[in-house]
Amino acid sequence: QVHLVESGGGSVQAGGSLRISCSVSGYTVDSGYCMGWFRQVPGQKREGLAAMDDGGTTTYVDSVKGRFHVSKDSAKNTLYLRMDSLKPEDTAMYYCAAHIGFCSRPELLTDLVWKYWGQGTQVTVSS
């Protein structure tokens, strides 16, 4: 059974950095799954941010390209999202997700293809 558990969220000042984690169980991060990061502000649609395929190829949406970086630690079976130059508008609940299939920008534009989701971790950026 697949489980995704996010951690590492918190409060940070604008301009700061934060790294959040997604611990995976039920499959290995090198085994054919596409993994993604999303965020959601209450009352708004969930927004796709970045994805990484099992080979380590990454895709980012324009709003975070150059500021957010996806990585993984195969030994820990964990996916990370490092966020730099944080802005107050980055405040949101951040989720990791996984599915077997294509792993490119179109998949980040919808949450319908993503089969597995974590419970989220809150990131708050103060000005």
Q: Tokens 């980012």 sit at which residue?
A: 60
String of DSSP letters for 85-116: S--GGG-EEEEEEEESS--SHHHHT-STT--E
CA 122, 4, 86, 48 torsion: positive or negative?
A: negative
CB-based contacts of 112, cutoff 8 Å, min separation 6? none
Structure tokens at 51: 């994805």
Predicted pLDDT at 30: 87
87 within 8 A of 123, measured Cβ to Cβ: no
- Rounded Cα distance between 27 and 123, Å, is 26
Predicted pLDDT at 73: 96
The closest of 28, 37, 31 to 81, measured between CA atoms, is 37
Predicted pLDDT at 56: 93
pLDDT tens string, the chain, 127 residues long: the values are 999 999 999 999 999 999 999 999 999 888 889 999 999 999 999 999 999 999 999 999 999 999 999 999 999 999 999 999 999 999 999 999 999 999 998 999 898 999 999 999 999 999 9
